[in-house]
Homo-oligomer: A and B are copies of this chain.
Amino acid sequence: MSVQERKQRERAERERLIVATARELAEQQGWDAVTTRRLAERIEYSQPVLYSHFRGKREIIGAVALQGATEMAVAMRAATAAADGTRGRVTALARGYLDFAERNPAVYDALFQLDGGLPYAQEDTPEPLKDAFAALLETLAEVAGDGVEPGLFTELFWASLHGIATLTRTRRLPPEDTERRVELLVDRLAVL
């Protein structure tokens, strides 16, 4: 029994190593640089080992996304907890979101740009994803306004942040005005 348990532990450890290495490589050099060969070399195993843990590259992206979702939820809750007042919390949330996206571009891509094979906005959506959305909802529900579903409002607010984050990072929006855009967004969208 104990031998099997040890093997299982080692296997789980190796899986964590794969995900961590993929994430690290992606943050350092972008997801294009995360090839199965390079990844295999870094974890000091051969390529096929990756396929004994994940169906393919897509699933590895998905694993990074799930890890990222948990961290993102933590980051957003920490940002809002440190802020005062309704308006302050909403602004802090928006900044926290964009900050996370800027600091963890590869994770953000895994979550919201790339195909990680994860189901979103469904019943079988993984818990970390639901929780990240919940973290947004918690703060935004109180500024949705009368007669507006908090969920719908959160989706819209999220979409706006997502647009800012992605367009800014791909240099389609000049980065220097981000703060003003955030303030305008909060001012207009939120009912304070």
Listed in ascending order, the chain A residues whose CB lies under 8 Å from chain B are 112-113, 115, 119-121, 148, 152-153, 155-156, 158-164, 166-167, 170-174, 177, 180-181, 184-185, 188-189
Contact = CB atoms under 8 A, between A and B. Distances in A.
Contact of A159 (B112, B113, B173): B173
A131 to B, nearest CB: 15
A152 B181 contact: yes
Contacts of A156: 160, 164, 181, 184-185
Nearest to A172: B120
| Assembly stoichiometry (copies) | 2
A80 B166 CA distance: 26
A162 B167 contact: yes
Contact of A121 (B160, B172, B185): B172
A173 B155 contact: yes
A121 B163 contact: no
B167 A159 contact: yes
Contacts of A185: 156, 160
Contact of A173 (B121, B161, B180, B181): B121
A180 B160 contact: no
**Best-surrounded residue of A181, A184, A189 (most CB of chain B within 10 A):** A184
Ordered nearest first, which 9 A-B pairs have the shortest CB separation?
A: A159-B163, A163-B163, A162-B163, A160-B160, A120-B172, A159-B164, A188-B189, A156-B181, A121-B174
B184 A152 contact: yes
Contact of A163 (B119, B148, B160, B174): B160
Contact of A184 (B148, B181, B184): B148
A93 to B, nearest CB: 15
Nearest to A173: B155
A155 B180 CA distance: 11
